[in-house]
């Protein structure tokens, strides 16, 4: 019986190898040439097609520089991919070393996250780097499908009730700016303790719970801007960059009338000492210079650092 089975098994293996000779040869050739094929999946509906100065959508996903790696990270989350694998070419000798450095740079990853739709923003990216130069990204996204459905339905409802066809772009932004502030409060508890019963750190908070932190305000405004077809991104200052023991901040950048402006709903919805609710427009579509003046006016002689952002990242605000 054994003498019969062994030849049959051998014939089966030989037949399998012959039948799959081309795919196997191609795979071996790819590995030898260090040029394996990258599988490109379809992007989701929240992919942004904007062209930014700091990050750009990748074309061939073959990195030749550290900036190419940054662009691949951005493109992965901008496309809404949960996993993505690419390869270091042999001519890019520092590829894996540079990727290790980038994957451990939380400040840089935070800034990259600010250029994608809130619905494609991530909470964590795991990077696996092999000795052969294969790099795999695994992305955990911030918003659940259920949250996205609820938020989208509420945004559609607000637009149908508050926005009319005769409004210009600035009027639309102002209506939404005022609506969000008038219908939500700053989540002081989350700000002070890091804990809250509200989802104030995402767009769900101001829209559904009625409470927001700067992240929630900024995300919900970005989603409305996306619905209106207005180019935008988030500007962030991180505690590591503005000083030890300081709190980071985030707000919206809006492209309006052929220039970039700042829009900060958090600072237009201040926490008053007497508990009263206020609506301001001090940080409504202003320039960087005007923001500095508003900071000084609001805080008199105190130095305001929350609005000090990294100009090498948010280059749209740099003078031409």
> Could you tell me what percent of the chain has a pLDDT over 90?
75
Listed range (16-30, 79-93, 200-214, 269-283) with the worst mean pLDDT: 16-30
| Beta-carbon contacts of residue 267 (< 8 Å; ≥ 6 apart) | 251, 280, 282, 283, 294, 298
Q: How far apart are CA 74 and CA 116, in angstroms?
A: 8
Domain ranges of the chain: 2-33, 66-141, 145-317
pLDDT of 298 above 90: no
Q: How far apart are CA 138 and CA 135, in angstroms?
A: 10
How many C-beta atoms lie closer than 10 Å to residue 151's C-beta? Answer: 21
130 token code pair: 């092999």
Average pLDDT over residues 110-138: 97
What sign has the CA pseudo-torsion 64, 65, 71, 75?
Answer: positive
pLDDT on residue 302: 57
> 36: buried, middle or exposed (CB in 10 Å: 19+, 13-18, 0-12)?
middle
78 touches 61 (CB < 8 A): no
Whole-structure pTM value? 0.87
pLDDT on residue 242: 80
pLDDT of 92 above 80: yes
Pick the CATH number of 66-141 from 1.25.40, 3.30.1370, 3.90.930, 3.30.1820: 3.30.1370
pLDDT of 303 above 60: yes
> 245: buried, middle or exposed (CB in 10 Å: 19+, 13-18, 0-12)?
exposed
CATH of domain 145-317: 3.10.620
Residue with tokens 């950048």: 253
DSSP 99-138: HHHHHT-HHHHHHHHTTS-GGG-EEEEEEEE-TTSEEEEE
Average pLDDT over residues 72-85: 98
pLDDT in tens, 138-189: 999 999 999 999 999 999 999 999 999 999 999 999 999 999 999 999 998 9
């Amino acid at each position: 019986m054994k003498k019969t089975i062994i030849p049959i098994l051998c014939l089966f293996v030989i037949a399998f190898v012959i039948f799959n000779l081309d795919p196997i040869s191609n795979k071996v050739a790819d590995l030898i040439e260090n040029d394996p094929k990258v599988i490109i999946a379809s992007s989701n509906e929240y992919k942004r097609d904007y062209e930014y100065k700091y990050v750009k959508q990748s074309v061939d996903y073959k990195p030749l520089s550290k900036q190419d790696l940054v662009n691949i990270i951005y493109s992965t989350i901008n496309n809404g991919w949960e996993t993505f694998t690419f390869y270091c070419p042999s001519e890019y000798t520092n590829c894996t070393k540079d990727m290790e450095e980038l994957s451990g740079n939380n400040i840089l990853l935070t800034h990259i996250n600010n250029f994608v739709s809130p619905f494609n923003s991530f909470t964590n990216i795991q990077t696996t780097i092999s000795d052969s130069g294969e790099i795999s990204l695994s992305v955990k996204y911030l918003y659940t499908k259920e949250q996205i459905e609820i938020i989208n339905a509420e945004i559609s409802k607000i637009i149908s009730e508050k926005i009319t066809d005769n409004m210009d772009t600035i009027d639309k932004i102002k209506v939404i700016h005022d609506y969000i502030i008038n219908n939500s409060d700053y989540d002081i508890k989350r700000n002070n303790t890091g804990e809250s019963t509200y989802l104030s750190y995402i767009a769900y908070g101001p829209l559904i719970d009625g409470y927001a932190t700067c992240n929630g305000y900024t995300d919900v405004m970005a989603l409305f801007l996306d619905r209106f077809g207005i180019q935008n991104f988030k500007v962030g200052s991180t505690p590591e960059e503005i000083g030890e023991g300081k709190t980071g901040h985030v707000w919206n950048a809006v492209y309006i009338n052929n220039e970039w402006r700042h829009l900060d709903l958090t600072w237009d919805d201040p926490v008053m000492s007497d508990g009263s609710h206020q609506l301001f427009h001090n940080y409504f579509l202003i320039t960087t210079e005007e923001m500095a003046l508003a900071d000084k006016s609001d805080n008199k002689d105190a130095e305001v650092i929350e609005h000090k952002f990294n100009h090498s990242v948010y280059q749209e605000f740099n003078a031409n």
